[in-house]
A and B are shown apart, each in its own frame.
Chain A
């Protein structure tokens, strides 16, 4: 570091008045000239620490503006344009054609005015703590802010300068400074400008500094952390460091800190997205995520495995409760995960996506699936070792006071919360779903808000581009299941009923089965009145919303992915295909391949399915149509020696429920033996404990153990599909699905 440059006093006559300046000497040969412009009522004195720092590399000149410090005093007090003219005149008088100007506080206003009025004089400008934020241009605010600015050691200097200028002049200049509309001049300034703000500057507020930098055609903002308003005096070294590259004309680094702070979701919202514990989409993601991490799937992934014995005890206790109490357990377990409707505005679509991708290991995959929730294709994902990203999520919302048999009231209730959620999330479509049959207990105290992405969320895009190489395959899972619905508002749909034991017509027209069920529950079926549907739309839980295709096609084009649509009409259409695919795989590995393991809803074990060499068959729920699908499959396929069956329990004997006898009959179709996995037959469908029981029951019931196989390649799937021809009700295609 070189020795400090000396400064000498320099007097010039401007408009008949002597003007004092401190000028560095000797200056480095050919050095650029930098003029420092002092703040309100002050003089060159407090600018000297910065002047000395810069004098190593530049010719530095620090004038006392006419009326201030040691310079002569004009009779009238100059306003901002006059001070700017004086500055330009002084530069002309000392033969300074052009210079970089650096100002502090009010000095910035003079520099801006000078650059606007005399552009030929200003090469570039540095505005350190420009005044005054628009909303604080009052005596009161400025007094408050001035008091907030700690100025160690500045007191004596400031007092001497104020006395020299005269307090009348200082106050009048202060008034002029408040009247000066700095922002209106900024757009005229064509030279590069660096705005420097101390992060703790109480006078030049952050938003204001940002606005100044933004309005300048070539403006840039730099923040020096932890310092206040009078940087030129208190932190000259740091100020000089950020100024040097700017004065040297260097371009800023590619990613300069963007200082805008986007609106922040609450910390709570950031960490835990409001997802249901026992929902299809999140359950399936947990299951596949666990599998791809080499783990099994205890407690539906809702709790860590060490809690399994505890939950088993809790479950057994709940099962033993008298009926009304047990119903309350179901009701409150649903509500416990639900979020308050007021908080829906803080939910961000992006969190859900981030949550989902965080379940999967980040590593290269040959392919990925995205779209409809489907348990059969989840097993396909396990076989191929690829992840699946859901389009639909369930956000459970707390709600009281609406009986299950009042879907119209439910629709009304959902309008406000729905609007809040959608306003904050333009990329979501809300399917407000109300099923008084299977969800009779759950919807006592919560509402089902299912949301579907219509645009590809950033979290998914990032995950896919990081884990898929060009040439990789992106499967779009498209379940074409539709349901009669009501359009409540833009992107807001209401669906009465859900896939399971009843048809859409039975929900809408009311049916004897539904009426009987409601009566059994103590509800009045006469009050049943479903809102009139105005069209059919993708089913809330399983259906695919086709708007998403656009982004996926674009993504595939941009990154060279092979896009394959997997299209089917009913969620269970894929189950026979995946079961047979597994069977063929086992046969090739010379495994027996004669054990069927029936997964139900989210009760599944992809890991143990493979370890025990079982063929997975997924059923969507515990209702009669699912039992029928399974029966049809068993009818059509080569006999299985063993059949093992998991059964979800949702707490009520809903209409269309397949009875335990019917399931038992299915098990009797097994060539050798059939067994329930983790089902308390007497308690079904109120077997609360099954979710804590199924994993260990599976391990105990099926003694076979095989090593976990390496994932199959996509070509294995292609060969299988080629051989299968049109045997299965699933269409695979590169183009959009035929519809």
Chain B
């Protein structure tokens, strides 16, 4: 029988804004049964209302994913409400901008605690239930920078590297239970409020780098992955291009990243050092979009062109070598 979202029970962490919120709404549109969680109760309640209005069933449970026992309780409550959990989406993430040696240690640690341990807690809470059910899908939302790295967002990037590792290890451990899938999602720059909410010690406002994609695009990709589980899902051509570029010329790529990120990832507007939403949630920004993608993006072909030029150069070099030999 074809799987249908309306027959599924889905837990989403970090659902108060951005990709999590977009995914919850997209699932609600298809009648899904959703348990939404994040730190902000008010934002969650409103989201649950919106989900219901779209035709889904939603349960809002405020949880800080760094608290393992709270995450365990979340899983139990989801199970007791709907009878089972089919999909668990680890999505809650915070970020921190600044030079590696200038970001405070506690902020740095907090990013890893939330982004990486938050996912570990989610996986530890739900996998026993998945094993008992004999099936389940664990979706870990990582990021394109989890493969390529990114300067001035070091804590964030290494947490995303870690998530990819977590997914891989779990997939290996779970190879004996074909009903359980682990999906890693690698989105590009997405128009979410994370840039406004992140801790920032850069001195300049953070702004996503073009091309920016809508959170709904990621939501769509996650839903596809739920209906037909895959190992990795890349969202956004820019990630694919960056992976190719990094593969072809890693040294050049790193130098390019250093230059471009400093120029394009931060606006020329001053912002005082702050830890953003790392330690306490901000009441504003409880939205899907961050407002970065207005009115229409100009598609940036820069990374693509970069990869193209490299490819061409490699081709010519190869031909040259072949001719001489």
Contact = CB atoms under 8 A, between A and B. Distances in A.
Interface in A224-261: 224-227, 235, 237-239, 241-242, 244-245, 253, 255-261
Interface string A455-470: 0000000100011000
A182 B96 CA distance: 60
A118 B146 CA distance: 64
Contacts of A257: 33, 52, 57-59, 81
Contacts of B60: 255
Nearest to B32: A225
A304 B295 contact: yes
Given A304-B295, A362-B291, A256 B52 contact: no
Interface string B1-15: 000101111000000
A223 interface: yes
Given A223-B33, A224-B82, A295 B294 contact: yes
A140 interface: no
A200 interface: yes
Given A253-B59, A261-B52, A362 B298 contact: no
B196 A363 contact: yes
A225 B45 CA distance: 21
A253 B77 contact: yes
A222 interface: yes
B7 A226 contact: yes
B7 A225 contact: yes
Contact of B59 (A224, A241, A255, A304): A255
A225 B59 CA distance: 14
Contact of B284 (A223, A239, A244, A467): A467
B6 A199 contact: yes
Given A304-B295, A466-B284, A258 B77 contact: no
A257 B84 CA distance: 15
B83 A238 contact: yes
B286 A466 contact: yes
Contacts of B100: none
B82 A466 contact: no
A306 B84 CA distance: 49
Contacts of B296: 304-306
Contacts of A293: 291, 294
Interface in A318-377: 361-364
Given A362-B285, A362-B291, A223 B77 contact: no
A222 B53 contact: no
A253 B55 CA distance: 20
Contacts of A235: 83
Nearest to B51: A257
Nearest to A708: B269
A227 B7 CA distance: 8
A222 B83 CA distance: 9
B48 interface: yes
Nearest to B4: A226
Interface string A571-606: 000000000000000000000000000000000000
A729 to B, nearest CB: 36
Contacts of B283: 466
A623 B61 CA distance: 58
B80 interface: yes
Contacts of A301: 295
B46 interface: yes
Contacts, number: 101
B255 to A, nearest CB: 30
Contacts of A264: 53-55
B187 interface: no
Interface in B208-248: none
Contacts of B48: 255
Contacts of A255: 45, 48, 59-60
B287 interface: yes
Interface in B8-63: 8-9, 33, 45-46, 48, 52-55, 57-61
A254 B48 CA distance: 12
B7 A256 contact: no
B298 A306 contact: yes
Contacts of A305: 295-296
Q: Decide if the interface of chain B is mainly helix, strand, loop or mixed.
A: mixed
Contacts of A238: 82-84
B162 interface: no
B193 interface: yes
A258 B82 CA distance: 13
Interface residues of B, number: 39
A156 interface: no
A278 B61 CA distance: 44
A239 B81 CA distance: 10
Q: Decide if the interface of chain A is mainly helix, strand, loop or mixed.
A: loop
Contacts of B8: 225-226
B4 A242 contact: no
Contacts of B257: none
Interface string A12-56: 000000000000000000000000000000000000000000000
B82 A225 contact: yes
B79 interface: yes
A466 B79 CA distance: 32
Interface string B68-90: 00000000010111111000000
Interface string A289-330: 010010100000100111000000000000000000000000
A256 B54 CA distance: 17
A225 B48 CA distance: 17
A304 B294 CA distance: 8
Nearest to B45: A255
B196 A256 contact: no
B288 to A, nearest CB: 10
Contact of B57 (A259, A361, A363, A466): A259
Contacts of B9: 225
A143 to B, nearest CB: 24
Contacts of B54: 264
B82 A242 contact: yes
Contacts of B46: 462
B32 to A, nearest CB: 8
B128 to A, nearest CB: 10
A262 interface: yes
Contacts of A256: 59, 81
B57 A223 contact: yes
B196 A244 contact: no
A199 B8 CA distance: 10
Most buried by B among A200, A258, A259, A305: A258
A362 B84 contact: no
A222 B53 CA distance: 18
B84 A363 contact: no
A708 B62 CA distance: 40
A223 B7 CA distance: 10
A255 B51 CA distance: 13
Contacts of B133: 237
A227 B54 CA distance: 22
A365 to B, nearest CB: 10
Interface in A172-203: 199-200
Contacts of A259: 57
A199 B295 CA distance: 41
Contact of A363 (B33, B61, B285): B285
Contacts of A362: 193, 284-287, 291
Most buried by A among B54, B61, B295, B298: B295
Nearest to B1: A226
A257 B294 CA distance: 35
Contacts of A260: 52
Interface string B263-307: 000000000000000000001111100010011101000000000
Most buried by A among B9, B82, B193, B283: B82
9 contacts: A222-B82, A223-B33, A223-B57, A237-B133, A238-B82, A241-B79, A241-B80, A256-B81, A260-B52
Given A224-B82, A364-B284, 14 more contacts: A1-B132, A199-B6, A199-B7, A224-B84, A225-B7, A237-B133, A238-B83, A253-B77, A257-B52, A257-B58, A257-B59, A295-B295, A362-B285, A466-B286
